[in-house]
Amino acid sequence: MRIVLDANVFVSALISGSGAAAKIVVYWQEDRFEVAISPPILHELDRVLHYPRIQEHQRLSEQRIRHFLHLLARGAVAVAPPQQLTVINVDPADNRYLECALMAEAEVIVSGDRHLLALGEYKGIQIITPAGFLAFLNLEQ
């Protein structure tokens, strides 16, 4: 199975060693599924990890951020979507996840973003919360 993880899932996993997001990253590292990523998603993740409110509370070093992004880029299935979608107009950056999922032929997008979650699914790709994805995995095992 191939999935796409929203930046908010990666950030949650990085700053908290517990919770659904952290479990998802552990399961990915255990090769239970593949994660697809694209350059725009990596760029967004880099940007989000540098947000002042995250830096203020988490004090993530530049070295730790670079190491995390490097591991992600090496361990995920990298795709470069050839076109930009305009499905979500309220927050156009959310469209990058749809593009990545389509290009990677992913089955699921895991997100905490309300705009993505409001879609529920897109062209057969389920869009669910981290907790919902963990429940989905339990059904699949």
The pLDDT profile of the chain, 141 residues, written as one tens digit per residue, is 999 999 999 988 887 778 899 999 999 989 999 999 999 999 999 998 888 887 777 777 888 888 888 888 889 999 998 888 888 888 888 999 999 999 999 999 999 999 999 999 999 999 999 999 999 988 554
Which pLDDT value is given to residue 14? 81
- φ, ψ of residue 34 to 5 degrees: the values are -105, 150
Q: Which residue has the tokens 């990915």?
A: 28
Residue 78: strand, helix, or coil: strand
What topology does CATH give the domain 2-140? Rossmann fold (3.40.50)
Tokens coding 98 = 């749809």
Which pLDDT value is given to residue 130? 96
Torsion 54-57-62-64 (CA) sign: negative
Which pLDDT value is given to residue 68? 84
- φ, ψ of residue 118 to 5 degrees: the values are -65, -30
